[in-house]
Structure 1
Amino acid sequence: MRCPYCQSQDTQVKDSRPAEDGVAIRRRRVCPDCGGRFTTFERVQLRDLVVVKRSGRKVPFDRDKLMRSFDIALRKRNVEPERVERAVTGIVRQLESSGEAEIASDDVGRLVMEALKALDDVAYVRYASVYRNFREAKDFHDVLGELRGQEEVG
């Protein structure tokens, strides 16, 4: 693993342990050249996924981008990082086990919306405003109505 500080190719693993409920391995590493310390995560990848954008452009699936979407929606919200990690891991597993190598960006967005609805209502509305391309206050009112309807059923 390359050192992120000095780009040395020769880093050493100092500690390894299971992470993310056993679906990843967390490794603490040190660079013998500059002394820099950093953490890496190793995960099983069942298949290479490609996201098909609305424009038709295809891009490799990026778990980190998915995590950033959650981080942005959940900014300043009190949601445990472990719950977020489980949600992201669940989405990735669902996509990988779908049997499809190409996934529509809308499908990824819907999965994120479902996960955020279970995690935090405010984050759900934030994400929905971008995902559904809200243009006016009525759009917010509609999505809040959806949440109210869900609470009355549940």
Structure 2
Amino acid sequence: MKCPFCGHEETRVLDSRVDSSGFTIRRRRECLQCKARFTTYERYESGPVFVVKKDGRREKFNRQKILNGVMKACEKRPVPLENMEKAVDTVISKLQKSGNLEVSTAEIGTLVMEQLKALDEVAYVRFASVYKDFREIDQFLELVEELKNQK
């Protein structure tokens, strides 16, 4: 593993942990040259999965796009990055278990909303407003009422 700070090619692993989903290994590493410490993540990678967009276009599945959306929804909220990563891992795990080689953006959005609902209600509402393309205040109110009624 190359050091991201000095580029030296030798590092040592200080600590390894499997996250709660069981799909990711977190490794704490130290560069043998500059002694800088950094974290890496190992994840299971399956064959190519394609995302079918609303207009019918297909593009290769990109985990980072889902994480970026979750991070944007959780911006300025008290949600640790580790929890966001776990939520994305859960979404990906469910997609992998389905066995489909093509998945719609609607399916991905629904899975992300499920995870955000459990993670942070404000982030859930933010994501839903973009995902469901809210155009009027009544749509926000309906979503918030639904959340209140579920408590």
TM over 0.5: yes
How many pairs are equivalent?
150
Give secondary structure in 1 for the equivalent of 2:150. Answer: helix
User: What RMSD in Å do the two structures reach over aligned CA positions?
Assistant: 2.5
The residue aligned with 2:65 is 65
1:131 Cα offset (Å): 0.3
Using the alignment, how far apart are the partners of 2:26 and 2:39 within structure 1? Answer: 7
Does the aligned pair in 2 maintain the 1:17–1:27 contact within 8 Å?
yes
Using the alignment, how far apart are the partners of 1:15 and 1:61 within structure 2? Answer: 32
Given the superposition, is the C-alpha separation of residues 13 and 61 from structure 1 closer, same or farther in structure 2, using an over 3 Å criterion?
farther
Give secondary structure in 2 for the equivalent of 1:97. Answer: helix
CA deviation vs aligned residue, 1:95-135 (integer Å, no higher than 9, x gap): 01101011001100011111111121111110011001111
Counterpart code for 1:20: D
The residue aligned with 1:12 is 11
Given the superposition, is the C-alpha separation of residues 13 and 51 from structure 1 closer, same or farther in structure 2, using an over 3 Å criterion?
farther
Using the alignment, how far apart are the partners of 1:26 and 1:148 within structure 2? Answer: 36
Given the superposition, is the C-alpha separation of residues 12 and 83 from structure 1 closer, same or farther in structure 2, using an over 3 Å criterion?
closer
Given the superposition, is the C-alpha separation of residues 50 and 39 from structure 1 closer, same or farther in structure 2, using an over 3 Å criterion?
same
Give secondary structure in 1 for the equivalent of 2:69. Answer: helix
Using the alignment, how far apart are the partners of 2:101 and 2:18 within structure 1? Answer: 26
Which stretches in structure 2 are left out of the alignment for 5+ residues?
none
Q: How does 1:3-42 map to 2 (within 5 A)?
A: 4=4, 10-21=9-20, 22-29=22-29, 38-42=38-42
Q: How does 1:1-154 map to 2 (within 5 A)?
A: 1=1, 4=4, 10-21=9-20, 22-29=22-29, 38-151=38-151
Using the alignment, how far apart are the partners of 2:122 and 2:15 within structure 1? Answer: 36
Which stretches in structure 1 are left out of the alignment for 5+ residues?
none
Using the alignment, how far apart are the partners of 1:109 and 1:102 within structure 2? Answer: 14
Given the superposition, is the C-alpha separation of residues 139 and 42 from structure 1 closer, same or farther in structure 2, using an over 3 Å criterion?
same
